[in-house]
Amino acid sequence: MTGKILVSACLMGHAVRYDGRAKPLHHPAIDRWREEGRLVTICPELSAGMVVPRPPAEIADGAGGEDVLAGTARVMEISGGDVTEAFRQAADNALALAEQTGCRYALLIDGSPSCGSGFIYDGTFSGGRHAGHGVTAALLKRAGIEVYSDREIDRLVERIAAAG
C-alpha cells in the first residue's frame, strides 16, 4: 500500500457540513480504498469543536488559506463572527491526524473555507468564488501532503496507481 488518504467526512456521507448536510462522493475507488483500509475520515471543523449546523463561513476579502495561516486574513461567519482560530485549529488537527496515520494524500470537498483546494468562496457570501485553498488544504499542502478535490478523484486514482 502506497499511503493512506485523508478524506473529508462529508464526502463519506457524514452530515457534518455547515448546513447539516453531507455531500457523499460515489466512486468505485472510494469503495476499494475503504476495503483496503486506506481512508482516514475527518471533518476538520468538528475536530475543532464547531457544531452542526453552524453559520456559513468564508475567508474574508478574497484571501486564501495561506493568508489565514500567515495571520493576514480572517475566516468570518455570515453573522459577523470571527472563526479564524477555530479554522486554524481545524487545520492543525487534520494535519496531526494525517501525520499520525501516514496519509500521503488528501481528498477534500471543494469550495470549503477549510477543505477547498481548487476554489473557495470570496468572502462576500454572494456565491462569488475564486481559485484558492481553504485553511486545512493549505496547511496539508505546505506539509507535503498531496491534496485533491472531490472533482479530481480520477487524478488521485491515477496518481496512486502510478505510485505503485
| Number of domains making up the chain | 1
What's the pLDDT score for residue 135? 98
- Residue 77 domain-assigned? yes
Can you give the pLDDT at residue 3?
A: 86
Residue 143 lies in a domain: no
**DSSP 8-state code for residue 12:** G
In a domain, 11, yes or no: yes
Phi/psi at 82 (5° precision): -95, 115
In a domain, 57, yes or no: yes
Residue 150 lies in a domain: no
pLDDT > 90: percent of the chain: 97
Name beta bridge partners: 58.
76
Quick: pLDDT tens for 65-106: 999 999 999 999 999 999 999 999 999 999 999 999 999 999
User: Does residue 105 belong to any structural domain of this protein?
Assistant: yes
Residue 116 lies in a domain: yes
User: Is the pLDDT at 1 greater than 60, yes or no?
Assistant: no
Average the pLDDT over 147-155 and give the result: 97
Q: Which pLDDT belongs to residue 2? A: 63
Euclidean distance between CA atoms 18 and 23, whole angstroms: 11
pLDDT of residue 164: 76
**Is 86 a member of any domain?**
yes
> How far apart are alpha carbons 146 and 3 in whole angstroms?
11
The parent domain of residue 97 ranges over 4-131+155-163
DSSP string, 74-120: -EEETTS-B-HHHHHHHHHHHHHHHHHHTEEEEEE-TB-TTT-SSEE
